[in-house]
Amino acid sequence: MANTQNLKILTSEEARKYGRKGGIASGKARAMRKTFREAINDNLDDKTLEAMIKAMIKETKKGNTRAFELLRDTVGEKPIEQIQNINPPVIKIERPKE
C-alpha cells in the first residue's frame, strides 16, 4: 500500500496534462498494433496458416502445455475465471408498518 504522506495531489491542469500524454501514447500504441496486425494478415496465406496450426498441434502432442493452452483458447474453450465471494452481501428489507 502506498504511503499517503508521499502522495502529491495534482492540480486539474497537471491531471489534464498527464491524461493527454497518456492518451497520445495509447493512440500511438494502438496504431502500432493495428499496423502489425495488418502486416501479419497481408502476409498470411492459407498454406502458412495451416502449417502454423499443424505445428501447434504437434507441440501440444509433445506435451507443451503453453501450446495446449493457446490451442484451447483459440477454439473458444478457455475456462472462465471466477472470483468466489466468501461473504455474500446481506440485504435487509424493512417493510412499512401497516
Q: 3-class SS at 12?
A: helix
CA dihedral 47, 52, 55, 60 (to 10 degrees): -140
What would you report as the CA-atom Rg of the chain, rounded to the nearest whole angstrom?
25
Q: What is the pLDDT of residue 82?
A: 64
Q: What is the pLDDT of residue 90?
A: 81
- In order of 9, 84, 85, the CA distances from 89 in angstroms are 34, 13, 9
Q: What is the pLDDT of residue 19?
A: 94
Question: pLDDT tens string for the chain (98 positions)?
Answer: 567 777 888 899 999 999 999 999 999 999 988 888 888 888 888 898 899 999 999 999 999 999 999 988 888 887 776 667 777 778 888 888 87
Ramachandran sector of residue 82 (left: φ over 0; alpha: ψ -120 to 50; beta: rest): beta
Q: What is the pLDDT of residue 28?
A: 92
Q: What is the pLDDT of residue 2?
A: 62
Query: Does pTM top 0.95 for this prediction?
Result: no
